Amino acid sequence: MLIKFCSTRRTTAAPSDGFGAIHRLLSKALFGVAVASGMIIAVPLARAEAPSTTVTYQPMVSTGLAAQHPFEAWFVFDKSSDPTVPGYSIPAGATIRFTFPEAFTPKSGGSLDAVMLKGWAQGALPAKFSTALDEKVPRTVVIHFSEGTAFGPTERPGLKAIHLRTNVINPSKSGDYPITIQFVDAGPLSGKIKATASITAKPQPNVAAYNQLHQSKDENWQHVKAGEEALLPLDFLITLPDIPRSTISLKASESAVSILSDGKPIGSIKTEGVPVALTPEALGPGFSRLGIIRVHAKVGKTTGMAKIIARLDEGTSYLINLIVE
């Protein structure tokens, strides 16, 4: 079958995973993810072998799943974000097609991009592929791999998610909309699946891990010896919609760490599981204006799993796991 492409952008060995304002502000490519509350896991079609997929917010913008804004989100496959868990391998010549329903409107110009991800924020997977709109079906975004991807050591566990930034405009009404994902010539992954994009009436406050300050190493899933502090600090990126960029800061209390915007509470960082103490660190006014915050995590003497949950009021949340040994 011959497919004609338009609006093509070819990507080679993406060194990082970012688009948007902070890319310009920091002069580095960033990319991330926030876990949106109420997200819906895709249900596979009959006989499909494509991986189950969840649509989640992309953390550097708060508009990607908002009505009448360009669609931008993460498609997260059914693999644990734990870097010790292998992801998927995509063979050379494979194609992934994302077909949006008729309520979405293709728009000329704008941005059309994709980044292959290893499962964590700022964790791009080197890959050679092209991203295009199907000329005959302009609501379909086509990713074609000129070279295959494979999983390897812990720092390169394989494909676990795709960040898709499009010039397709979201519907004018909020609601759940199915996006058809088709893997073609992808070996055992070949098949179709539907993933649900939950479109909101307005942009949502967004929080996600921010790994750029420690060379894109994954701050999630760290192994920590009992009684010691996690090697990497826990950095988060806060993105607030429809308002001028405020100063984001932290305030510790007995039960949680409050997230503040210009001194007003907008969310919190709390812990679950085995004991862990969180200590905020002020990164300076430049980082605060960019929405970057940091806490240090010191675990107790009990071994097991510690969970650190950053959550914004009426917005998204993000989970960090620490393995206490």
Task: Assess whether the region 5-199 and the region 206-324 belong to the same CATH fold.
Answer: yes
Q: How confident is the model at residue 155 (pLDDT cuts 50, 70, 90)?
A: low
Residues 38/39/41/42 CA torsion (nearest 10 deg): 120
Amino acid code (one letter) for 202 = K
> At a CB cut-off of 8 Å and minimum separation 6, what does 54 contact?
39, 40, 41, 42, 75, 76, 195
Say whether pLDDT at 5 is over 70: no
Q: What integer pLDDT is reported at residue 39 of this predicted model?
A: 42
Q: What is the pLDDT of residues 217-246, one digit of tens each?
A: 788 999 999 999 999 999 999 999 866 668
Determine the pLDDT at residue 23. Answer: 38
pTM over 0.85: no
Give the helix, strand, coil percentages of the chain, each rounded to 5: 5, 45, 50
Residue with tokens 């993000």: 318
Residue 81, pLDDT score: 85
Q: Which of 1-5, 139-143, 247-251 has the lowest mean pLDDT?
A: 1-5
Q: What are phi and psi of 24, to 5 degrees?
A: -75, -40
Tell whether the model's pLDDT for residue 248 goes beyond 70. yes
Q: How far is CA 201 from CA 56, 175, 238, in A?
A: 16, 8, 20
19, pLDDT greater than 80: no
Domain 206-324 has CATH 1.10.260: no
User: Helices marked H in the chain — which ranges?
Assistant: 21-26, 285-290
Rounded Cα distance, 292 and 237, in Å: 5
> Does 12 score more than 50 pLDDT?
no
Report domain extents, the chain. 5-199, 206-324
Q: Which of 45-59, 99-113, 160-174, 176-190 has the lowest mean pLDDT?
A: 45-59
pLDDT, residue 243, reads 66
Residue 214: DSSP 8-state: G
Whole-angstrom distance, CA of residue 155 vs CA of residue 147: 20
Choose among 225, 224, 218: nearest CA to 154: 218
Q: Which CATH number fits domain 5-199: 2.40.50, 3.30.160, 2.60.40, 1.20.120?
A: 2.60.40
Residue 2's closest CA among 114, 144, 167? 144
pLDDT for 30: 35
pLDDT tens, residue by residue, 110-124 = 789 999 988 666 667
Q: How many CB atoms lie within 10 A of CB 114?
A: 23
Query: Are 94 and 63 within 8 A, CB to CB?
Result: no
Task: Write phi, then psi, for 214 (nearest 5 degrees).
Answer: -125, 50
Asked if 317 and 35 touch (Cβ cutoff 8 Å), the reply is: yes
CA separation, residue 260 to residues 108, 245, 246, 263 (Å): 39, 13, 9, 5
How far from 17 is each of 283, 300, 302, 303, CA to CA, in Å? 23, 34, 36, 34
pLDDT attached to residue 309: 97
Beta strand extents in 159-256 (DSSP E only) = 161-169, 175-184, 191-199, 206-209, 222-224, 234-239, 248-252
Q: What is the pLDDT of residue 86?
A: 87
Mean pLDDT comparison of 88-92, 122-126, 319-323, highest-scoring range? 319-323
The structure tokens listed for 196 are 């649900």
Q: Is the dihedral of CA 309, 310, 311, 317 positive or negative?
A: negative
Structure tokens at 51: 């991986």
